[in-house]
Structure 1
């Protein structure tokens, strides 16, 4: 017999026999009506767990990680407000059910069963995943990625404080709200969780408002690996900047009282707290998991004997709120109702084609107040003497700085964050003077943790800010990439476009830095970003393009709620000359604030018909260097700068290369996994032009004189072009 059935029958027999586990008497704080309501939420959560397993066996349901043993979270929900944004552990069905009781018009059993059935009518994900979540309940949906929601919970809490000081146009959350995030004891060990908890404490000790309640649901095990006894207490009780609370999650009266105390502390002090809630896990990890394969039968039965529903019946009886007979009646009626509702939910339609599944990859556009750009007076005051220099050609780094300044003047909800972006002005000086111009609230110097930087951005976007986080180097993104892949990019997909976290992520990247840092400061692999659905990748190669593309990127984030990665080629930051001799051939003047380059608009330089070079970033620079030799060889050439790497501007590239006899792709990324693979495929499928590519070797970049050895070069481009066209140099 499976453990779910055993727990079910134990409950029925023990309640009938009034055989309850021992425990403390009920505390004050819950009325009889409230306590019974919480019990109903607990029972509904349990019934949904049992039904989800039956649906899965019948091929009608697709998710069986349940909440049994964690039903005490209903009491936690009751201690909070339905407007407190909640990033939930996947075992928190009882929390969502109890919160639904706080918001009129909810049909929570129906909604959750549609989710189990992956029906396209599921109001949360539209049939894309079984997730806890609800726009009406202020619960952004989470999937099962371990602890990855904690950094953005920190960001959401920070955003609550920041919105008091600078209210964004699309503010979502109330001034006196708090953020909560819940997770298991095993997840607390994940580096992502530890980074988020550390970030919260680091922020708190500096007296920066951070109203966040961490809730650790400690059932003592992570799938099959036990948590050492006392581990959560000893590791969390004395964390600096974070107040520790402990409660018995099997006791709804105690759990409610302590959660209420913790929430009041967070709400009034605007500081983070950690609620350690002791629970049990019933049934094993999920439907296919058999706990007796890694736990003794005695251990499994001990947890089952501590069923929180049995504790709740005992407590309600002692409080005079509900008799055991009435509790059994509620249990039977709820199970029968869930079965009836499930029988209808499984008949509802499902997603049936790729177009329907993909419909929520791109979030909906939102109405924004029209802006006319920064005023002349504001610009004159902020830029000062820089205004006179704008008429002269400048390197890319300075033009990006000016573009960021204009954007921050125009949009008060823009907030930048990253290591050294404020006081220092960035590793390469790109953000110099911005903290002096806009203050530390909008130019946030963060701790050294990329996961926390991106989590801060994601969370602040939940409250209407337009975050522009910076990752110092592309290689530093990799330890935090899941914050983009598993969190930012998936949110509109799993919420059917109801929740979004737009941002413009600035990353200094690519190669060609002379002798500095090797691979860690010269990373020429974009594959990790290119395959994330819905993410836009921009890569300018000149200062003027950078300014105009950055403005478009902010527009895409602000108006279309997109996640944009703005990749800035490090080696081109200071570049002045193209052919040498101080020709200033790579500097540009600063374009006026109303000029933009639209998404998918490529740059076409020249009108040659013998050869089209398709490239981007440093490849654009090197291809322009190669032009004199190609022209001398009689090859009329045009250079096409992609600018936008994802989504691939396919139509624009085909149009830009039309009329050319040959196409050469110059890609500074590696042969394997680079843009060149997609470009070769594009031209093979849609063109009969002979096509070749010049790419980097499948190798990391070395430090020292060999820094450029594996990368495309001007000479390599000339040689490949002449070989492709059959011309002689």
Structure 2
């Protein structure tokens, strides 16, 4: 027999025979009505788990990771407020069911069965995934089965205190809310989880408000690997800045009492706490998992004999809240009701086309307060002597700094965070003076952990802020890229556009830094960013474009709720000259705050018809140098700056190369997986002229004199162009 059927039959037999497991007597403040509500949530959890297996066998359901054994989490939900945002472990069906009972108008069994059936009418994901989640219940869906939701829970908790100081326009969470974040004992060992715990403690240690309740559901096993006995208590029992609570999750009364103590501590102290809930896992990891293949039958049967629903029947009887016969009737009625609802749920429509699946990739636009930008008085007070400097051409890094200043003046909900962005003003001085202009609560110097930086941004975005996190170097993003791929970019998709995390991620990157840092500070691969559906990747080549594009990036995040990455070419930050020393050819005047470059708008220099050079960033700078040599050789060229690397500005690019007899693509990223691959395909599909490319080698970047040896040069671009046009004219 399936273990689910064995547990079911054991429950029926043992309750009828009053053969209930021993345990402590019920104690604490849990009322009879709430105790019965918690038990009902557990019964529905159990019925849904069994039904999901039946649906899968019939080819009508698509998810069988269950919550049986974790029914005690219903008591945790009852100890919280339904306005406390909850980032849930995937075994937390009982929590969501119990919370649904706290909010009028919910149809939780129907909603969850639609999710099992992958129906397009599923109210949270629209049929894209079986996820726990509900906008009405303040439960954003989590797609990770490990721990990548923990850093953003830290960010959401931080945002509650931040919102008291700077009220965001689209605030989600009440001022007295706490954030709830649950996970399994195996997931607690993941580096992402450990980073989140450390960040929470680091924040709390400095007495910064962080109302966050971590809940570890300890069933003692991660799929087939056991958690060493006592490991969670030993590891988390005495951590600075994070108070430890522990309860027996098989006991509804004890769990409610301890969970309420922990929640009250977090809410009153505005400090994080760790609630360790002992649970068991029934049925194995999922439907296809047979636990007796890696556990002895005796171990499996001992867990089943400790069924939390059997404990609940005993406790309710001892408390006088519900007799065993009444408890059994509720259990059987719940199973019958779930079967009836499931029979209807499996008939509901499912997603069929690519368009339907992709409909929620791009978040919906939202109405924002109109803004005309900062006033002249405000700008004068903040910029001071910089106002006069704006009359003269400046380097890129300074223009970005001024654009950030104007944007933060115009939009109080913008918050920046990252390593060294505050007091130091950034590694390259891009954020200098901003902490003096806007304060340390809007220019947040974070600890040295990229996934915590991005988690902070994602979490703050879910409370109405427009975060602008900074990653110091592109190479450092790879420590934390799943915070973008697996969390930020998927939230709108898996919530059917109900939850979003708009943000503008600034990254200093690409190559050509002379003799500094090698690969770790010169990374010319952007494949990981271009591969993420829905993410916008912008990359300016000069200071004026950088300022204008930054304004568009903020608009995209603020009004269209997009996840935007602005990749800033490090080597061009200080660039002054173009063709000769002190010609000042690469400096620009600061564009008026009203000027922007729209998403998909390319830059075009020249109108030559012999050759169109398509490039971006450092490639655009080098191509402009090569273009002068080409003109001297009689080749009339135009140079096109892509500006937007994802999605590629396909239509604008096709228009920009129209009339050119040949196309040369200059790509400073690598030959394999670089921008040129997509551009070559686009040109082949939509133009009828010869196309060639010059790219970086498939190599890391060296330190020292060979810093640019693997990447395109002005001379190499000239030679490739001449070869393409057939020599000098």
TM-score over 0.5 (shorter chain): yes
| 1:238 match | 238
Contact 2:635 2:728 in 1 (8 A): no
1:549 aligns with 2:549: yes
| 2:452 match | 452
SS in 1 for 2:484: helix
SS in 2 for 1:171: coil
SS in 1 for 2:415: strand
Q: Map 1:634-673 to 2 at 5 A.
A: 634-673=634-673
Range with bigger deviation, 192-201 or 18-27: 18-27
Aligned counterparts of 2:173 and 2:580: Cα–Cα separation in 1: 55
| 2:267 match | 267
| 2:183 match | 183
Q: Map 1:496-645 to 2 at 5 A.
A: 496-645=496-645
Aligned counterparts of 1:516 and 1:674: Cα–Cα separation in 2: 23
| 1:717 match | 717
Aligned counterparts of 1:145 and 1:529: Cα–Cα separation in 2: 22
| 2:414 match | 414
SS in 2 for 1:54: helix
String of CA shifts for 1:88-128, please: whole Å, max 9, x gaps.
Answer: 00000000000000000000000000000000000000000
| 1:33 match | 33
Contact 1:56 1:63 in 2 (8 A): yes
Shift of 1:247: 0.5
1:252 aligns with 2:252: yes
SS in 2 for 1:140: coil
Contact 2:89 2:145 in 1 (8 A): no
| 2:65 match | 65
| 1:433 match | 433
Give the 4+ runs in structure 1 shifted more than 4 A. Answer: none
Aligned counterparts of 2:240 and 2:517: Cα–Cα separation in 1: 35
| 1:43 match | 43
| 1:405 match | 405
| 1:282 match | 282
Shift of 1:34: 1.2
| 2:204 match | 204
SS in 2 for 1:448: coil
Contact 1:145 1:486 in 2 (8 A): no
Contact 1:152 1:459 in 2 (8 A): yes
SS in 2 for 1:553: helix
| 2:344 match | 344
SS in 1 for 2:140: strand
Aligned counterparts of 1:119 and 1:388: Cα–Cα separation in 2: 61
RMSD: 0.6
Range with bigger deviation, 27-36 or 342-351: 27-36
Aligned counterparts of 1:305 and 1:130: Cα–Cα separation in 2: 29
Aligned counterparts of 2:33 and 2:146: Cα–Cα separation in 1: 36
String of CA shifts for 1:228-261, please: whole Å, max 9, x gaps.
Answer: 0110001001111001000000001000000000
Shift of 1:580: 2.0
Range with bigger deviation, 632-641 or 486-495: 632-641
1:111 aligns with 2:108: no
1:313 aligns with 2:313: yes
1:298 aligns with 2:290: no
Shift of 1:145: 3.5
| 2:147 match | 147
SS in 1 for 2:133: strand
Shift of 1:727: 2.3
Shift of 1:144: 3.2
SS in 2 for 1:37: helix
Aligned counterparts of 2:511 and 2:427: Cα–Cα separation in 1: 16
SS in 2 for 1:245: strand
Shift of 1:628: 1.4
String of CA shifts for 1:344-403, please: whole Å, max 9, x gaps.
Answer: 000000000000000000000000000010010010000000000001000000000000
Shift of 1:28: 2.5
Aligned counterparts of 2:627 and 2:333: Cα–Cα separation in 1: 80
Aligned counterparts of 2:443 and 2:134: Cα–Cα separation in 1: 32
Contact 2:90 2:145 in 1 (8 A): no
String of CA shifts for 1:627-656, please: whole Å, max 9, x gaps.
Answer: 111001111111000000000100000000
Shift of 1:688: 0.6
Contact 1:393 1:587 in 2 (8 A): yes
String of CA shifts for 1:147-169, please: whole Å, max 9, x gaps.
Answer: 00000000000001100111100
Range with bigger deviation, 719-728 or 89-98: 719-728
| 1:688 match | 688
Contact 2:119 2:350 in 1 (8 A): yes
Aligned counterparts of 2:95 and 2:628: Cα–Cα separation in 1: 68
SS in 1 for 2:168: coil
String of CA shifts for 1:47-91, please: whole Å, max 9, x gaps.
Answer: 000000000111000000000000100000000001100000000
String of CA shifts for 1:423-454, please: whole Å, max 9, x gaps.
Answer: 00000000000001100000000000000000
| 2:335 match | 335
